[in-house]
Structure 1
Amino acid sequence: MRISLLAATATALLCTGTATSVAAPTAPDAPAGAPAAAPAAPVAEAPVERLIVGYKSMTTEAKSDAAAAKDAKAKGAKAGEALEFDRRIGTGAALVDLGGELGKKDSQDVMAAFEADPDVAYVVPDRRMYATAVTPNDTEYNRQWDLFETTAGMRVPGAWDKATGTGVKVAVIDTGYVTHSDLSSKMVAGYDFISDSFVANDGGGRDSNAADPGDWMLQGECGNNYPERDYDSSWHGTHVAGTIAAAANNSKGIAGIAYNATVQPVRVLGKCGGTTADIMDGITWASGGTVAGVPSNPNPADVINMSLGGSGACDAGTQSAITAAVNRGTSVVVAAGNSNANAANFNPANCNNVITVAASDREGNRASYSNYGTVVDITAPGGETAVSSANGIWSTLNSGSRGPVSENYEAYQGTSMAAPHVAGLAALMYQANPSITPAQVESAIKSNARTLPGTCSGGCGAGLADAAATLGAGTGGTPTGKVFTNSADVNVLDNTTVTSSIPVSGVGGYAPAALKIDVDIRHTYRGDLKVEIVAPSGASALLKDFSTSDSADNVITTYTVDASSVLADGTWKLRVTDNYSGDTGYIASWSLTF
């Protein structure tokens, strides 16, 4: 079976049409609805509204809220300000409200009043923190409505505080890769699996060079009067790769969805398309399987993107390659097709164990060309350049009509463009939780989708993919009441850091916004200890910090943390650090309640 390249035929590479080329990355006017750049953290110190006051452990103020409130009023009167006790922080410190914003000098006067008190261990401002992820400075970013627009964008910026794809590997099984400076730092060595030298169009058959020499075709040269006219090179694999992982914040071009991920080009499509056998080998090799006569892949993919397809049922060979890839832990994302027909009749969109992606336009309707139906799992922006190039998906390309000439950016439309949006989202998820499975990736993407803001006839899966919701920017998982415990003793010696682990399975989805952590640590002079919880993704939260004034014994308490941004299943760790000599102890037990 041969899978063809162009959307004009019954089979498709799954992009349709191009728009005006952008030869040089200039800064365009912002389209309607484009967000203003997120503010950077202020350089100057902001006015202070509250103070955090740590009293020495044996003082009355450390034990009594009433005493702390009385002391706050007294300190305020001394400094000429109206101070109020607000609440007790988890560490035991008092949060003191200054009665309004105070400038630097006034707040320093109040702090000096506390610092002069021998019963006070420390006093610090309650500072405001800011998100570190800001709108990228890439010059074409304002064209990327598909990432950020409120109506039908995929809400990608809301996920970038959780993950950017670091350490994740994505294989793009496509036409290969033509050099582009907005992608060069993201690429790892791939492979050319095209076995027919005519189709390869590079002077040979299979080899380790996945460079795209161009897939231009002359009328009728592929047989059976196909194609019906001359076609220029598409540079399709490079466009797909840019959507997934183009460099961000490099003052040029676009920003990829998983802009810190790596991309591996796996070339299976050339002049006249590609064959099922070559595609099967590409899937196998990309996911870490063995292909006879081909060196093993040093960078097996976490995610495979296949923006390609042909008509007919999912053949047993393609299905076996996909199933094996998924069993190795690789998520496989495929385009639904561009025939405005039921995707159940298109391969590999109708294969099992894949995430099949339909395309939406800028208003959130099913794109006029997009396939549909019950085999569609999710919809993502695919654009409609027939309306305007501004409504297409902008990404990395080349200006050459046959061979490569100069790098540029162009707008394409198609389910080919929708699929890499989901592949990029999957890459973010693999960073957030390296132990996530392909089934969990698909489930989380579908369960966090939002209703298409426009219309969809025929079936668009779970709805429009939502990166921010999928990465846990929402309310997290529903509490289940499931409890996981580790009662094995772990010694905590002087000046050491130790961990105790709890494997969690069967919860599914994201952890709750109020994750309960019960801790029983036996240790004299608990002020020596810092206690942290570490999620399977590697994200951590401070439960208890060091304190030079807390001389009491043992940490036996329940903490509650907002864990809604991390997936529940995987190995959780309690990390305990002792920073002093003379007192030791052990972790007696701890538990998690989801």
Structure 2
Amino acid sequence: MDGRRWAGRCAALALLAACCLARGGSAERQFLNEWAAEIPAGPDAARAIAEELDYDLVGQIGSLKNHYLFRRKSYPRRSRRSAIHITKRLSDDERVSWAEQQYEKKRTKRATVRDSAENLFNDPMWNQQWYLQDTRITPSLPKLDLHVIPVWQKGITGKGVVITVLDDGLEWNHTDIYANYDPKASYDFNDNDHDPFPRYDPTNENKHGTRCAGEIAMQANNRKCGVGVAYNSKVGGIRMLDGIVTDAIEASSIGFNPEHVDIYSASWGPNDDGKTVEGPGRLAQKAFEYGIKQGRNGKGSIFVWASGNGGRQGDNCDCDGYTDSIYTISISSASQQGLSPWYAEKCSSTLATAYSSGDYTDQRITSADLHNECTETHTGTSASAPLAAGIFALALEANPNLTWRDMQHLVVWTSEYDPLAGNPGWKKNGAGLMVNSRFGFGLLNANALVDLADPKRWKGVPEKRECIVKDKSFEPRLLRANEEVVIEIPTKACEGQENFIASLEHVQLEATIEYSRRGDLHVTLVSPSGTSTVLLAERERDKSPNGFKNWDFMSVHTWGENPTGTWVLRITDVSRRIQNEGRIVNWKLILHGTATQPEHMKQPRVYTSYNAVQNDRRGVEKMTDFVEDHTTQENLSEKPKVTEDTSSSSDKAEDKIPSEAMLRLLQSAFSRQMAQKRLPKKTASEKLNIPYEHFYQALEKLNKPSQLRDSEESLYSDYVDLFYNAKPYKHRDDRLLQALVDIINEGN
């Protein structure tokens, strides 16, 4: 009897545990008393449905025609469980073509966790805006800025262009913003009113939107803060992040007043935690499509998106469906050192780069702040996207007839790789364009972009076409750890059809992949021209067994290439987790482009090595060969060079990375309290082996200990122990950077 009772209790406990687990798994999603529905018959039918089914009709969702939001009367505001029966009753109505209960979406602002030309303006922080006019005096820094001043000198300052910032609100009465504030570009979707003013709290949590707007449109010569990139443009704010975010709220924000707003700037997205895969919902996707087709009187809204700050978490922005969209211009960051910051993500969808914060000692971005204050500490890709939006506003003033695709072509064709050439990963694609998964096509060059956009020079790009390539006979392919699935995709790019493509823009791989550990997947696509693109890199923190379902992996790396020929898709798992398994269920390749080559691409892209000249003029040691992320025998000969160095040109770049010397120096920097006899010796030759521009490559190698030589392994172990046991700083990045500063100071 006791045995049966004990068995019964065990069974009950097991059932309770299972229920708790089930509830815990679904607790991440909070369902709301809101239903979105598509009702083709229009508002009268929507009102009738609301009355018959006991709903309150909230109204139309943004600019989406025949899409309505309903609330159920006498129903809880939020719940952990979806009301499937209510949704079914609504969707079963013959007047409803689609219905979905809204749920809360987690969205994070993309600021980092931590927070001559000199006399042009009287604004007190103008001289700190190093990214607009290079005021940096450290000799080791390359001469860099975004080339905005030459555009201003032509009288182009953003006049007549309207930008709205989708964020947590806008302090529109700020004295450096008010003169440029546009209420027609503003709304509060959190409180459903026309005032986007942010909610104040003791931590100033809602400063993000005001800072982003200030970068774009701070007033010039008013003795307040700094100067916006497009300081005569009009700016609005959409308050939508300071509360529950739903698909309907995102759609309403993305599609707000598209006949009036020219540019939408967004510095947020799904969590950059290295394990989230999420994109726009059905409504937000429709809002993007509506904006592209109807915005700006049919020329298309310009959507600018921050690429993400999940670099330290090993995140990949190809898992973010907002930056991975063909409709957005995804912008990454570079530091004042001309390097990829610690927070930046790598992916094939990034189109270009603007400046932002870098390491602990680097300067950051200047802007307006809450309570009519100013800041010089705006950070992350959050700060890069508004700078890009401001540059695009300058281009639209110069040529208001630019379409959304014209703008993307201008960005691709005028962005510069040379200022960022000291970073690994640059490759030349089949159209002669330099591209990098960290930076897209390079650093934005406002002057070059605006010059090319001049209506006297610019010929609008040909009509967009879409060619879908798939294998109807494809059967699911099994994939296990340490194995590779290779799929060859021959195509004539829809030759002989009205959607034939001869010159590529975006390429999408839509795939369904079932896998036991999603983060171990690595997906590569090789074009007929030989351009190899990583569509998905491993993400160590992504342990999800959910795989990918009809996910669009998007790449811009083959821009300008001819798609005809055989594409090669490689899906691998090199994790050595022998329990991993899954299958490639289906796929299709979606080619976007034009039937003829755009006019500006009929001559080869010419890159000017102005940065190498500036380095030489300022007495900075010349850069050596670049380091490819995945160097192959085929592309070794195409590895770009900044300067020729006859004394070392035959050496491999990776052999020049003084990781052993770096380890010794770092070990010493963290060993201040150790006995002198245990301190590693630092010789002059070791210091000379680490020019400043090599710090990045050396640190990159330290992040891959499996690649260290035998002589470095014990040094690496000691360094790691010291690193984690050192006096704690607020951030480990601060601690590492302080060590580097110590090294530099000792070397001078």
Specify which structure has the bigger relative contact order, considering alpha-carbon pairs within 8 angstroms and separated by 6 or more residues.
1
Q: 2:197 aligns with which of 211, 232, 241?
A: 211
Alpha-carbon distance between aligned partners in 2 of 1:383 and 1:423, rounded to the nearest angstrom: 17
Contact 1:349–1:375, Cα closer than 8 Å, also in 2: yes
The residue number in structure 2 matching 1:157 is 149
Contact 1:286–1:304, Cα closer than 8 Å, also in 2: no
Q: 1:396 aligns with which of 360, 368, 379?
A: 368
Query: How many angstroms does 1:235 deviate by?
Result: 0.9
Matched, 1:459 2:438: yes
Matched, 1:275 2:246: yes
Matched, 1:303 2:263: yes
Contact 1:141–1:255, Cα closer than 8 Å, also in 2: yes
Alpha-carbon distance between aligned partners in 1 of 2:233 and 2:168, rounded to the nearest angstrom: 20
Counterpart AA for 1:160: W
Query: How many angstroms does 1:252 deviate by?
Result: 2.5
Alpha-carbon distance between aligned partners in 2 of 1:154 and 1:166, rounded to the nearest angstrom: 19
Counterpart AA for 1:173: L
Instruction: For residue 415 of structure 2, give the secondary structure of its aligned residue in structure 1.
Output: coil
Matched, 1:387 2:329: no
Contact 2:170–2:197, Cα closer than 8 Å, also in 1: yes
Matched, 1:333 2:300: no
Instruction: For residue 145 of structure 1, give the secondary structure of its aligned residue in structure 2.
Output: coil
Contact 1:235–1:397, Cα closer than 8 Å, also in 2: yes
For structure 1, the residue ranges without an aligned partner over 5 or more in a row are 5-10, 20-34, 39-134, 195-199, 217-230, 289-299, 399-404, 481-504, 513-594
Alpha-carbon distance between aligned partners in 2 of 1:510 and 1:424, rounded to the nearest angstrom: 25
Alpha-carbon distance between aligned partners in 2 of 1:510 and 1:396, rounded to the nearest angstrom: 39
Counterpart AA for 2:175: S
Q: 2:347 aligns with which of 364, 373, 381?
A: 373
CA, structure 1 residues 510+36, in 2 after alignment: closer, same or farther (shift >3 Å)?
farther
CA, structure 1 residues 344+326, in 2 after alignment: closer, same or farther (shift >3 Å)?
same
Counterpart AA for 2:198: D
Matched, 1:423 2:423: no
Contact 1:304–1:333, Cα closer than 8 Å, also in 2: yes
Q: 1:363 aligns with which of 329, 333, 337?
A: 337
- Max Rg structure: 1
Matched, 1:15 2:108: no
Alpha-carbon distance between aligned partners in 1 of 2:262 and 2:332, rounded to the nearest angstrom: 22
Instruction: For residue 210 of structure 1, give the secondary structure of its aligned residue in structure 2.
Output: coil
Supply the RMSD in Å over aligned alpha carbons: 3.0
* Runs of 4 or more above 4 Å deviation: 473-480, 505-512
Alpha-carbon distance between aligned partners in 2 of 1:240 and 1:16, rounded to the nearest angstrom: 13
Contact 1:152–1:453, Cα closer than 8 Å, also in 2: no
Counterpart AA for 1:461: G
Query: How many angstroms does 1:313 deviate by?
Result: 3.6
CA, structure 1 residues 233+181, in 2 after alignment: closer, same or farther (shift >3 Å)?
same
Query: How many angstroms does 1:476 deviate by?
Result: 11
Instruction: For residue 353 of structure 2, give the secondary structure of its aligned residue in structure 1.
Output: strand
Deviations 1:547-570 (A, max 9, x none): xxxxxxxxxxxxxxxxxxxxxxxx
CA, structure 1 residues 319+508, in 2 after alignment: closer, same or farther (shift >3 Å)?
farther
Matched, 1:324 2:286: no
Within a 5 Å distance, the mapping from 1:220-369 to structure 2 comes to: 232-271=204-243, 274-288=245-259, 300-310=260-270, 311-315=276-280, 316-327=282-293, 328=295, 329-340=300-311, 341-369=315-343
The residue number in structure 2 matching 1:412 is 378
Alpha-carbon distance between aligned partners in 2 of 1:475 and 1:188, rounded to the nearest angstrom: 26
CA, structure 1 residues 381+215, in 2 after alignment: closer, same or farther (shift >3 Å)?
farther
Counterpart AA for 2:146: M
The residue number in structure 2 matching 1:177 is 170
TM-score under structure 2 length normalisation: 0.41
The residue number in structure 1 matching 2:651 is none
Contact 2:198–2:206, Cα closer than 8 Å, also in 1: no
CA, structure 1 residues 509+258, in 2 after alignment: closer, same or farther (shift >3 Å)?
farther
Alpha-carbon distance between aligned partners in 1 of 2:235 and 2:257, rounded to the nearest angstrom: 11
Query: How many angstroms does 1:3 deviate by?
Result: 4.4
CA, structure 1 residues 511+144, in 2 after alignment: closer, same or farther (shift >3 Å)?
farther
Deviations 1:407-447 (A, max 9, x none): 23241211111001111011001100011111111111221
Alpha-carbon distance between aligned partners in 2 of 1:209 and 1:406, rounded to the nearest angstrom: 17
Counterpart AA for 1:148: Q
Alpha-carbon distance between aligned partners in 2 of 1:173 and 1:301, rounded to the nearest angstrom: 12
For structure 2, the residue ranges without an aligned partner over 5 or more in a row are 1-102, 135-141, 271-275, 426-436, 460-595, 604-748
Q: 1:435 aligns with which of 401, 421, 443?
A: 401
Within a 5 Å distance, the mapping from 1:395-544 to structure 2 comes to: 395-398=367-370, 405-451=371-417, 452-455=420-423, 458-472=437-451, 508=599
Contact 1:359–1:380, Cα closer than 8 Å, also in 2: yes
Query: How many angstroms does 1:473 deviate by?
Result: 7.9
Counterpart AA for 1:264: G
Matched, 1:147 2:132: yes
Counterpart AA for 1:306: A
Query: How many angstroms does 1:462 deviate by?
Result: 0.6
Counterpart AA for 2:256: W
Contact 2:118–2:127, Cα closer than 8 Å, also in 1: no
**Which of the two has greater helix per residue?**
2
Query: How many angstroms does 1:286 deviate by?
Result: 3.7
Alpha-carbon distance between aligned partners in 1 of 2:118 and 2:204, rounded to the nearest angstrom: 37
Query: How many angstroms does 1:256 deviate by?
Result: 0.4
TM-score under structure 1 length normalisation: 0.51
Contact 2:118–2:126, Cα closer than 8 Å, also in 1: no
The percent identity for this pair of structures is: 25
Deviations 1:60-98 (A, max 9, x none): xxxxxxxxxxxxxxxxxxxxxxxxxxxxxxxxxxxxxxx
